[in-house]
């Protein structure tokens, strides 16, 4: 694991419920609730069972595959039709 | 230009740059299933950190994303001190540097609402899921509505799973 010295300053403890600390209240925004009905929660639950590293590696692999596909698509367009 | 988080981390972390990951990559680290096209970070505006940031990024040809080529843009300490937020393209990928973010303020203001994570071989700070939702709401962009809905659903599921003992409680 490559690491470097992180910010060594003490980090004040979060105080949930203070005006500065948002508390998530489900159903507080009817527009968001409407959008929420279309969220695939099975995928979220699966992701929550993974570590940060696993989530990051999956996203990185997806983005690299997407970039590779875009590269192939660009190459195909530059070659043009037979 | 892809969002190559691993390459961005390999530049910022060993150089000791103080930063907090926000935006789409923060969402992905918390479990979001949505992809993102750039890396967004809030950086500390101290002279020492600006110096580290410039020294780390300069070799990777940072340039204003979307700007026509040939502009007299130089990514140096003076430029960063004079500016605040920079939308960059670099050889390591697209990188958005924020001195401040709406609803989150500066690096120092965001620091208590961040957590340390280990991923892709590096240890770094990422904004908490609760504060990420707060930031997205504060930004007030219509295109974020779907993202906010997903993040709130993610938070609900995490709390449910923590209560059921299915995952370890967060920080």
Pair type for strands B39-43 and B93-98: parallel
What does the DSSP 8-state code read for residue A13?
P
Q: Which residues of A touch B30 (CB under 8 A)?
A: 55
Q: CB under 8 Å to B85, separation ≥6 — which residues?
A: B96, B97, B98, B99, B100
Q: In this predicted complex, what is the ipTM?
A: 0.89
As a whole number of angstroms, the longest Cα–Cα distance in chain A is: 66
Q: Which of A33, A56, A67 is the closest to B119 by Cβ?
A: A56
Tell me the per-residue pLDDT of A40-77, one tens digit each, with 9 for 90 and over: 999 999 999 999 999 999 999 988 888 888 777 777 76
Q: Which residues of B touch A22 (CB under 8 A)?
A: 130-131, 133-134
| Under 8 Å between Cβ of B55 and B74 | no
Give the contacts of B71 (CB within 8 A, at least 6 positions apart): B64
The residue of A48, A58, A62, A66 whose CB has the most chain B CBs within 10 angstroms, and thus the best one to mutate to test that interface, is A48
CA distance A77 to chain B (A): 18
The pTM (predicted TM-score) of the whole model is 0.85
Encode pLDDT of B39-69 as tens digits: 999 999 999 999 999 999 999 999 999 999 8
Question: Which class for B108: exposed (0-12), middle (13-18), buried (19 or more C-beta within 10 A)?
Answer: middle
């Amino acid at each position: 694991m490559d690491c470097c010295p992180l910010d060594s300053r003490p980090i004040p403890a979060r105080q949930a419920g203070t005006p500065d600390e948002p508390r998530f209240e489900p159903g507080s925004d009817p527009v968001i609730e409407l959008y929420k009905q279309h969220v695939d929660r099975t995928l979220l639950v699966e992701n929550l069972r993974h570590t940060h590293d696993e989530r990051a590696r999956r996203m990185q692999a997806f983005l690299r595959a997407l970039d590779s596909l875009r590269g192939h698509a660009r190459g195909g367009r530059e070659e043009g039709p037979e | 230009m892809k969002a190559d988080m691993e390459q961005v981390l390999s530049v910022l972390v060993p150089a000791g740059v103080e930063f907090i990951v926000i935006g789409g990559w923060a969402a992905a680290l918390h479990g979001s299933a949505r992809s993102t096209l750039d890396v967004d970070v809030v950086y500390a505006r101290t002279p020492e950190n600006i110096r580290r940031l410039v020294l780390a990024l300069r070799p990777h040809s940072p340039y204003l994303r979307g700007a026509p080529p040939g502009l007299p843009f130089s990514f140096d300490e003076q430029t960063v001190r004079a500016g605040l937020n920079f939308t960059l393209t670099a050889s390591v990928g697209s990188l958005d540097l924020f001195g401040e973010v709406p609803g989150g303020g500066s690096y120092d203001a965001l620091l208590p609402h961040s957590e340390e994570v280990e991923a892709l071989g590096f240890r770094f700070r990422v904004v908490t899921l609760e504060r990420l939702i707060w930031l997205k709401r504060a930004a007030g962009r219509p295109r974020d509505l779907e993202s906010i809905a997903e993040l709130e659903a993610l938070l609900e599921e995490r709390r449910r799973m923590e209560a059921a003992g299915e995952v370890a409680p967060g920080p």
